[in-house]
A and B are shown apart, each in its own frame.
Chain A
Amino acid sequence: MTVGPLPDHGPRPAPPGSGYQSDLPSHIGEVIVRAEGIEKYFGDNHVLRGVDLEVRQREAVMLIGRSGSGKTTLLRCINFLEEPTVGSVEIDGLKLDADPLRARSRSHQEQIRQMRIRAGMLFQDFNLFPHMSVLQNCVEAPTRVLKQPKATAIERADHFLEVVGLAEKRDEYPARLSGGQKQRVAIARALCMEPKVLLFDEPTSALDPELIGEVLRVMEDLAHGGTTMIVVTHEMHFARQAADRIVFMENGVVVEQGPPEQMLDAPREEGTKRFLRRFLNA
């Protein structure tokens, strides 16, 4: 069976409230992640209804919205952990069109893999490899996927463990670490791949309240240090501190986006206001 290319909708008009481009802070660079026209169905459930998202170098973008609004699905579509039903993703010049009909084909899988190497992903429940020490967790992919020499990989791993403040835990196994420490190791592990962008999927929602701070602090340092990141989060205080831009999603579309002060203090859209009213009062 042959299927023609999916219809091209052409360049889309900028979403409402995207006036952020006119007055970019000086540290923000060129566009490095571009998701265009992302649609995602789970069966009949239309979870993403045409989302465009551009992220620039050294920009920290926070995705907020009610659960079920599609923000996590969007994040997972960016590195194809979920294959979008329609749309394309470009990371650092490598563009990949969603192609669910040949999702299993070898060439498509290889392209997805190249895409994922450019994007580090952090999960709600960390997903450290429990049978490997902290150091092995950090060295495994750089040596076997990027083919770095072992000594180089270890040196870099030690460096990034230092960055997340866990240098002295390098020989421990994950079972010995607290949740906050695990997530920080996961961040170091992702950094070791030198990704162009870090994708955080609610990185603190599985943590005990007293452990959330240490993870957010590391993330904030990274954001201020110029790491490009897209973060799905419910931590509004953190978003205000660390975000260059906040994106509000509802029912599978981007409703409004802008710098944190504008989004949190003076939202324009009714949906954003409603969400923030409920969220900030709760």
Chain B
Amino acid sequence: MTSEAGKIQSEILQRIGASQHAARARNRVVYVVVWGLLAIGFIGGMMLAGDVDPAFFIESGPVIVLQGAGITIFVCVVSIIVATFLAIFGALGRLSTNSAINAVAGFYVSLIRGTPLLVQIFFIYFALPQAGIILDAIPAGIIALSLNYGAYMTEIFRAGIQAVPRGQAEAAQALGMPERLLFRRIVLPQAVRIVTPAIANDFIAMLKDSALISTIGVRETLFLGQRIGRSSFEPIAALLIVALVYWGLTIVFSFFQEKLERRMARGDR
């Protein structure tokens, strides 16, 4: 190839690159504009339809966000941590060669996945006191969410542990590691990395499911919104704020989730 031809070719490649870059930028602008218009349209439409006074938004919005969303996040963070531990033990139980342990774990997953979360919340808050176990609303809510998500995450962790290549355990065994050390140092850390995106996903789902614990009087986002709505005779406006709070939380945590996943996809550690 002559250097002349090479020059022409590199110029063409440069122009292709530039046009692809421009197309990507254009796509991003279109995406943001359409998304923004839909959001403004939706919120504006709801405000018009519900005859919402904007002053109410400014007045009550911060209260719901600061108090309600604070409780929502607190309850969900504690619950997802407890649920993760439950799920690790649940998965170990499901994978155990001991039939009795196996049955306990299987029973737990079956019972929890077989009944509605709302029923579980009512049981823990209203039925346990009959047996002499009286819990405050927040602990009851955390226990219910933890038990519920722990059961679903048990299956996630079971799959995650099974997805760690067999050779990893064999290499650790060949180095003389006893079974517990092998699980704690070799299998579990790799399983956690495998299931992290799924747990982040569950956390985002839990943010919204936690609205159910408003029914037992936990002063989280939905509970506060309903109370403020009732007392100020602006129920639709308050509900709209509640919806926007959950939506906003989801957007924020989805952003972190995406960052986390991109970091894990790099996979250099």
Contacts and interface: CB of A to CB of B under 8 A. Distances in A.
Q: Interface residue tally of chain A, by bracket?
A: 20 to 34
A121 B171 contact: yes
Given A123-B170, A129-B186, A140-B185, A193 B269 contact: no
Interface string B154-178: 0000000000010110111111111
B231 interface: no
B170 A141 contact: no
B146 to A, nearest CB: 27
The listed residue with most A CB atoms (<10 A of its CB), out of B177, B179, B190, is B177
**Chain B binding surface SS class:** helix
Q: Interface residue tally of chain B, by bracket?
A: 20 to 34
B136 interface: no
Contacts of A109: 179
A280 B257 CA distance: 55
A144 interface: yes
The listed residue with most A CB atoms (<10 A of its CB), out of B168, B176, B178, is B176
Contacts of B175: 116-117, 140-141, 145, 189-190, 193
A178 interface: no
B97 interface: yes
Contacts of B268: 173, 175-176
B6 interface: no
Contacts of B171: 121, 123, 127-129, 186
B1 to A, nearest CB: 29
B263 interface: no
Contacts of B168: 127, 129
Contacts of A186: 171
A81 B177 contact: no
Contact of A116 (B174, B189, B193, B269): B174
A141 B171 CA distance: 11
Given A125-B167, A129-B186, A144 B181 contact: yes
B190 A127 contact: no
B267 interface: yes
A12 interface: no
A123 B173 contact: no
A102 B181 CA distance: 22
Given A145-B177, A175-B267, A176-B268, A131 B167 contact: no
Given A104-B97, A129-B168, A144-B185, A113 B178 contact: yes
Interface string B102-130: 00000000000000000000000000000
B267 to A, nearest CB: 6
A179 interface: no
B176 A145 contact: yes
A146 B185 CA distance: 15
A253 B243 CA distance: 73
A141 B176 contact: yes
Nearest to B171: A127
B170 A144 contact: no
A141 B177 contact: yes
A127 B185 CA distance: 14
A79 interface: yes
Given A131-B193, A175-B267, A81 B176 contact: no
29 contacts: A79-B174, A81-B170, A81-B173, A81-B174, A104-B97, A109-B179, A113-B173, A113-B178, A114-B176, A116-B176, A117-B175, A127-B165, A127-B167, A127-B168, A127-B170, A127-B171, A128-B171, A130-B190, A131-B269, A140-B175, A140-B185, A141-B172, A141-B175, A144-B185, A145-B175, A145-B176, A173-B268, A193-B175, A193-B176
Interface of A: 79, 81, 104, 109, 113-114, 116-117, 119-121, 123, 125, 127-131, 133, 140-141, 144-146, 173, 175-176, 186, 189-190, 193
Interface of B: 97, 165, 167-168, 170-179, 181, 185-186, 189-190, 193, 267-269
Instruction: List 9 A-B pairs, minimum CB-CB distance, nearest first.
Output: A127-B171, A121-B174, A117-B176, A141-B175, A127-B167, A145-B176, A173-B269, A116-B176, A131-B189
